[in-house]
Amino acid sequence: MNAVSTAVAPVNHAVKKIPTSLPGVFLLEPRVFGDERGFFFESYNEQTMAQAGIMQKFVQDNHSCSARNVLRGLHYQVEHPQGKLVRVAEGEIIDVAVDLRRSSASFGKWEAVRLSGENKRMLWIPSGFAHGFRVVSEKAHVLYKATDFYAPAHERTLAWNDSELKIDWELDSAPTVSAKDQRGVAFRDAEVFE
């Protein structure tokens, strides 16, 4: 797995911004208020996100529930590209972003991070990236906000097991992958962004 930088930049009292190895992709760690009753944190605040560098408007919220070892992705849209703010409400996943911006210095590079209901971290993935995840807990509830609507005619799937990308999904057995995701194309044949 690619290493995540430990440098942390405070955005405001509510969230810490943690960079990754991919330009534009970063983790947000919210400030959590907890006591014997449970916890509270802001999972989204427009002002906080703007201070962190997320200026885009979100138009769609998605929620998936998946069992252990389900692998979803790697998805992207060639038209109506989506930026995604991903978090896990329950369980744990390995969340992966792949840079598909040909003009980027990190074109073809990937980043994998662990998101969980316990760490409450969020991953910001701007448009121009493919996204996918694998569930490492018994099940996981994954929630993500998207900056554009789902456009099935423009959706593309990058092969999760591409031999050139060599993504480390930390597998100990074959993952459960949908028929659509099994037909993902190789990175060298993928439609990419300029």
Catalytic residues: 75, 144
Distance CA 171, CA 188 (A): 23
How many degrees, rounded to 5, is the angle at CA 53 between CA 151 and CA 3? 85
In the block, tokens 């960079």 appear at 19
Distance CA 168, CA 131 (A): 14
Measured CA distances, 95 to 33, 46, 122 (Å): 25, 23, 10
Distance CA 93, CA 184 (A): 20
